[in-house]
Amino acid sequence: MINLKTKSDIEAMAESGQILAKALEAAEEAVKPGMTTERLNEIVEKVILREGAKPSCKNYQGFPACCCISPNNVVVHGIPSRSVVLKEGDIVSVDSGAYYKGFHSDAARTFAVGKISEEAKRLIEVTRACFFAGAKMAVDGNRVGDIGSAIQQMAEEAGYGVVRELVGHGVGRSLHESPDVPNFGRAGKGVRLTRGMVIAIEPMINMGAADVRFSKTDGWTVTTLDGSLSAHYENTVAITEDGPKILTLR
C-alpha cells in the first residue's frame, strides 16, 4: 500500500529534510584525512539531535549508529567505526535519516577525502547527475520505471555498474515504505507516480561491475564484488502538483 501525503504532511517532511540536509553539510565540512568514520557519525548525529529530530537509522533493524558510512569499495550500510580512519584520496558515502514531527527523511552524499583522483571525482559527479536525471522524472502520471531508466541510462553510458540488489523506496511515517524505486528499469513501466507520493531516489553506482557482496560478518556492510569504488547520492523527493520537490537539499 502506498501512503499518500497531504500538503501539511509534506511541509513537515520538508522540515525533517532540512534538518538532515544541514547535518550532511556539517559532515561535508568536517570530512578530512585522519578522521575516523565514528567521528563523522558523531558530527551528523549532533546536528540531528540539536535540531530536535531523532536519527532514523539508529536501532533500525538493529543498525547501531546514526549514519551508514561507506568508504571506497563499500556501497552502502557501512558501520561507523573508531578503527576505520579516512585517508587522503578516499571517497566516503554518508547516508542518514532524520525523524521529525512524525516523518522520516532520508538522504546520502559521497564526499572526497582531501584530494582524490579524476576518476573518483567523475564517479561522484555522475552519481549525483544520475539522481537529478531520475528526480526530473518524478512527476504525476509518470511511472517508477521512468526514474530507473533515466538513472540506468546515464550511469551505463558513463561505463558504470548500477547496483540491482538495493533500491530506493517510499518514505514517510516509516523510513521504508512502498513503492520500491529501482535505479534501473524500463521507461513507461511499473507503479504509476501520483501527487502526494514521497520517495527516496538513491542511485548506488559502481565504477566497475554492478555485482555486490553482503557481509556475513557484521550483517550490514555491502561492498562491490570486484573491489571497485562505489558512490551513493540520495534525496527525499515529494511528487507535487508543481513537479518534483527535493526535500533534503538546502
Interacting residue ranges for Co ion, rule: CB under 5 A: 106, 200, 202
How near is the Cβ of 37 to Co ion at its closest, in Å? Answer: 19
Nearer to ligand MF3, 165 or 242 (CB): 165
The Cα 116–Cα 121 span in angstroms is: 7
Nearer to ligand MF3, 5 or 77 (CB): 77
8 binds, among ligand MF3, Co ion, none (CB under 5 to 8 A by kind): none
C-alpha cell of residue 192: 504509476
Nearer to ligand MF3, 18 or 96 (CB): 96
How near is the Cβ of 167 to ligand MF3 at its closest, in Å? Answer: 9
How near is the Cβ of 43 to ligand MF3 at its closest, in Å? Answer: 17
Output the residue with the shortest Cβ distance to ligand MF3.
Answer: 63
Contacts of residue 42, defined as CB under 8 A and 6 or more positions apart, other chains included, come to: none
What is the rounded (10 degree) CA torsion for 26, 230, 64, 5?
70
123 binds, among Co ion, ligand MF3, none (CB under 5 to 8 A by kind): none
Are the beta carbons of 12 and 103 closer than 8 angstroms? yes
Residue 241, Cβ density class (10 Å: 0-12 exposed, 13-18 middle, ≥19 buried): exposed
Residues that bind ligand MF3 (CB under 6 A): 57, 60-61, 63, 68, 77, 95, 97, 106, 200
How near is the Cβ of 118 to ligand MF3 at its closest, in Å? Answer: 28
Instruction: Name the nearest CA neighbour of 245 among 13, 1, 35.
Output: 13
How near is the Cβ of 133 to ligand MF3 at its closest, in Å? Answer: 19
Local structure of residue 79 (DSSP, 8 states): P
